[in-house]
Structure 1
């Protein structure tokens, strides 16, 4: 009886996701942002009414965010897309932020300039 060698390669989560997404090695990294100019009116600290959600938008198109009760804050880059801002986290998560007349709306939270 002839035995067939078995491949026992073990893949981590990132490797499996990269393979599922077509083998792109940078599939989980945020795409680089090349802004046309400085962000108009968005830079600075934004927060919800009780201060539990905070979003700091920098002039270099980077951002940092925090939510009370979460250990890890978010950081990455952002860009303007029509009536939205698109936040691209270092982990690959992308979050749309609606630009409204009186502030920003992100994941159900109304944010106001601090």
Structure 2
């Protein structure tokens, strides 16, 4: 008869967090500052993905226009600061979170850079 072997390795909280964060220790992570609600000019402008398939124009009046190559309809709506990033809300009510880090926007798996 075979007995199954049980791994009894015990991880501490720091080890578990390091594994969960892909090998980056928690003390090495910097938290970006929140975006101020009056700071539209700081993020306003044209943002493009590296392959230029995703375009996002953020206007200083808190409106946006986005285009993705291959899609017929452009996304348009408004955006608002939320925590350390932004939330885009299109005309249909769809909400898309945007993370801001080191002058790069991360949105739906795409990294956008200032044009």
Q: Same fold (TM over 0.5)?
A: yes
Q: Equivalent residue for 2:111? A: 110
Stretches (4+) displaced over 4 A: none
Please give the residue correspondences for 1:13-92 in structure 2 after superposition, counting only pairs within 5 Å: 36-92=37-93
**1:45-86 CA distance string (max 9 Å, x none):** 001001100000000000000000000010000000111100
Structure 2 segments unaligned to the other structure (5+ residues) = 1-35
Task: Give the Cα–Cα distance (whole angstroms) in 2 for the partners of residues 59 and 98 of structure 1.
Answer: 18
Q: What is the DSSP-based 3-state SS (H/G/I as helix, E as strand, rest coil) of the residue aligned with 1:41?
A: helix
Structure 1 segments unaligned to the other structure (5+ residues) = 1-34
RMSD value over aligned CA atoms? 1.5
How many angstroms does 1:37 deviate by? 2.6
Contact 1:85 1:97 in 2 (8 A): yes
Task: Give the Cα–Cα distance (whole angstroms) in 2 for the partners of residues 69 and 79 of structure 1.
Answer: 27
State the TM-score, normalized to the length of structure 2: 0.66
Structure that is richer in helix per residue: 2
State the TM-score, normalized to the length of structure 1: 0.66
Task: Give the Cα–Cα distance (whole angstroms) in 2 for the partners of residues 65 and 80 of structure 1.
Answer: 17
Q: How many residue pairs align between the two structures?
A: 80
